[in-house]
Amino acid sequence: MCIKRNKKKKKTTITAKKELIARNIKIQNNCGFTIWPGWQGQSGTPNGGGTTLSAGQSYNLGVPDNWTGGRIWARTGCDGNFNCETGGCGNSEQCNGQWGETGVTLAEFGLNKWQNLDFYDVSLVDGFNLLTTIKPEGGEGDCKEIGKCNGNLLDECPNDLKVVKNGKIVECQSACTKLRKEEFCCTGSHGSADSCGPTNYSRFFKDRCPQDYSYAFDDSSSTFTCRGSNYVVTFC
């Protein structure tokens, strides 16, 4: 759950180092606490793959026009050595090409792909740690803002999917991540859309976050497209 503070803080924006970029993804921290966004892509890790955002801060991430397999997530509860309660990717602010630990909400991007379309989604296939939304800016086509949820997923999380650290629920992991069974992970004998459908666990996520991926083959209601857009990824 995102904590609201009464005291207003001045919003600041951190801009990534200048390099050859074509798109901007603004990462906004609307939580009432510090987060440590991380990112990685199959086609590269722009600007080292991580930063620190205090409450109200944002970061402008420049990415190539063909950035594919892109994932952005929030690390939470990190100490001075970057041991994090969720989403850890090594012992530094920057992930440097390492993927984050499973169990967190993912903002996913594949830019300039089929017919020059961007494909984007919010995925709970690994689990949920923070509300995460994606908003296109300035693109062409059916460019929807996505990722809004109903209810409090951490408080309402099924007991066998909860992850508790330091006396609080920090993640609601997916059944695949937590229980490691083929029917939940859509692997092995369940490795096709015909043999792997929604389960009671995936429906828990889908009922609360209808636009988000709830399991591996949840494509029809969870993949969105836009063309030539910049994006805003907002946590909380």
Beta bridge partners of 132: 235
Beta bridge partners of 23: 63
Beta bridge partners of 24: 62
Asked whether residue 7 is assigned to any structural domain, the reply reads no
Q: What distance in Å separates the CA atoms of residue 119 and residue 66, rounded to the nearest whole number?
A: 11
Q: What distance in Å separates the CA atoms of residue 75 and residue 93, rounded to the nearest whole number?
A: 10
Asked whether residue 1 is assigned to any structural domain, the reply reads no
Question: What's the distance, CA 127 to chain centroid?
Answer: 10
Q: State which residues form the domain around 69.
A: 13-235
Instruction: Band the pLDDT of 210: cuts 50, 70, 90.
Output: very high
Q: Taking residues 110-119, what's their average pLDDT?
A: 95
pLDDT at res. 21: 64
Domain holding 224: CATH number? 2.60.110.10
Asked whether residue 175 is assigned to any structural domain, the reply reads yes
Reduce the secondary structure of the chain to three states and give it as a string.
CCCCCCCCCCCCEEECCCCCCCEEEEEEECCCCCEEEEEECCCCCHHHHECCECCCCEEEEEECCCCCCEEEEEEECCCCCCCCCECCCCCCCCCCCCCCCCCCCEEEEECCCHHHCEEEEEECCCEECCCEEEEEECCECCCCCECCCCCCHHHHCCHHHEEEECCEEEEEECHHHHHCCHHHHCCHHHCCCCCCCCCHHHHHHHHHCCCCECCCCCCCCCCEEEECCEEEEEEC
Q: What distance in Å separates the CA atoms of residue 220 and residue 199, rounded to the nearest whole number?
A: 16
Asked whether residue 3 is assigned to any structural domain, the reply reads no
Asked whether residue 5 is assigned to any structural domain, the reply reads no
Q: Is the pLDDT of residue 176 over 90?
A: yes
Instruction: Band the pLDDT of 45: cuts 50, 70, 90.
Output: confident
Beta bridge partners of 145: none
Dihedral Cα 224, 227, 231, 236, nearest 10 deg: -10
Asked whether residue 2 is assigned to any structural domain, the reply reads no
For the stretch 50-82, pLDDT in tens is 999 999 999 999 999 999 999 999 999 999 999
Global model pTM greater than 0.85:
yes
The total number of residues written for the chain in this structure? 236
The domain total for the chain is: 1
For the stretch 96-105, pLDDT in tens is 999 999 999 9
Contact 72, 105 (CB under 8 A): no
Q: In the chain, pLDDT over 90 holds for what percent of residues?
A: 86
Asked whether residue 8 is assigned to any structural domain, the reply reads no
